[in-house]
Amino acid sequence: MTAPFFNFAKETFRIERIDFYPPIPRHKHSCYELFFIVGGSGTFYIDCQSYDIQKNTLFLVSPERIHGWEQTHNLQAYLLKFDLSIFPEKSFSDHLSIFHFDTVNVQENEFKSIENILSTLLEEYQATRSFKECTILNLLNILLIYVKRTLPAAPSSFTTNTLFVQLNDLMQQNNYQLTPTTYYAKKLKTSVKLLNQAIKEITGLNSSEYIRSKTMLEAKRLLKYDTMTCNEIADHLGFVDPAYFSRFFKREVGIAAKHFRTATDEKYNF
């Protein structure tokens, strides 16, 4: 089963307050999404992971990530979507490193600040006022900074965040193929040492480990949501030898690729 793809082309920014929402089948977008849970319960899915929906939780979904939610009860939340074209300057991409984290539990003292910004964003989005776009952009920038402050990792420099965001963009363009760090360092016009330092600072992994983890995540996504054969997936991810892909997947995940596909088919009834 291939997850449905919804293009976010009509507008570059959208926000809504959810006071009741039915289950949403797993799908993907071309935009960034932020879900801020105010109350209720349920299960939120991002790619191959499931998370409990509970108050004071943020879910951060970057483009192309497959997501949805089920078994919701009294769900209350803010749903915000935006794409990169809303930012007039590349410097704003510094804040997008937060989308490396699927979910963040917000402390009570931070909860109100984020909720207030989202409430003001919603009011501005629904109103017809002068300087509306400028106001939304500035409020969104403040929101992303507030979210960044909630993250467990230590604050990162602008250069570190920029390298991290650019690396993820390149990996996506490269279909998450298993590619040497030297290739990306050359593309980013930086050294392997600096790239390693940047990735380590944000993720705790070195560049090779992080690239490998993203390749495996893409392999899981394709096995779970796509109809490509294991050999086709191996080729798509840059493995010349399908047998090597099979060994690699089993070493990284713990089970064979075909068994992973069967297990998820049975579990999710696809």
Question: What's the chain's length in residues?
Answer: 270
Q: Residue 148 above 60 pLDDT?
A: yes
User: What's the pLDDT score for residue 165?
Assistant: 83
pTM: 0.75
Q: What is the pLDDT of residue 6?
A: 44
What are the angstrom distances between the C-alpha of 41 and each of 76, 172, 227? 9, 32, 32
Structure tokens at 125: 């989005």
Residue 266 confidence (pLDDT) above 70: no
Q: Are residues 179 and 126 in the same domain?
A: no
Report helix, strand and coil shares of the chain as percent, to nearest 5: 50, 20, 30
3-state secondary structure (DSSP) of residue 55: coil
Query: Are 170 and 118 members of one domain?
Result: no
Say yes or no: 178 and 132 in one domain.
no
Residues 119 and 225 in one domain: no
Question: Is residue 60 within 8 Å of residue 104, measured between CB atoms?
Answer: yes
* Co-location of 144 and 165 in the same domain: no
Q: What pLDDT, on a 0 to 100 scale, did the predictor assign at position 1? A: 45
The percentage of the chain sitting over the pLDDT mark of 70, rounded to a whole number, equals 88
Same domain membership, residue 53 and residue 170? no
Q: Quick one: 217 and 262 in the same domain? A: yes
CA gap 52, 144 in Å, rounded: 23
Residues 145 and 166 in one domain: no
The CATH number assigned to the domain holding 195 equals: 1.10.10.60
Provide the CATH number for the domain around residue 74: 2.60.120.280
137 and 163: one domain?
A: no
Total tally of structural domains belonging to the chain: 2
Cβ neighbours of 115 (radius 10 Å): 15
More confident residue, 13 or 71: 13
Q: What per-residue confidence (pLDDT) applies to 264?
A: 61
What pLDDT score does 8 carry?
Answer: 42
Query: What share of the chain has pLDDT > 90, as a percent?
Result: 50
Q: Does residue 96 sit in the same domain as residue 138? A: yes
Domain of residue 97: give its range.
5-150
- Name beta bridge partners: 36: 58, 78
State mean pLDDT over 160-173: 86
Q: What type of residue sits at position 97?
A: S
Does position 48 have pLDDT exceeding 90, yes or no?
no
Q: Indicate the residue among 150, 179, 205 that finishes a domain.
A: 150
Question: Is the domain of 115 the same as that of 248?
Answer: no
Given 133, 150, 167, the domain boundary residue is 150
Lowest pLDDT segment from 37-51, 85-99, 155-169, 209-223? 85-99
Evaluate if residue 256 carries a pLDDT over 70.
yes
Specify the DSSP class assigned to residue 48.
T
Q: Are residues 207 and 256 in the same domain?
A: yes
Q: Residue 178 pLDDT > 60, yes or no? A: yes
Q: What's the whole-number mean pLDDT along residues 223-234?
A: 92
Non-local (6+) Cβ contacts of 259 within 8 A are none
- Per-residue pLDDT tens over the stretch 181-223: 999 999 999 999 999 998 988 888 999 999 999 999 999 989 9
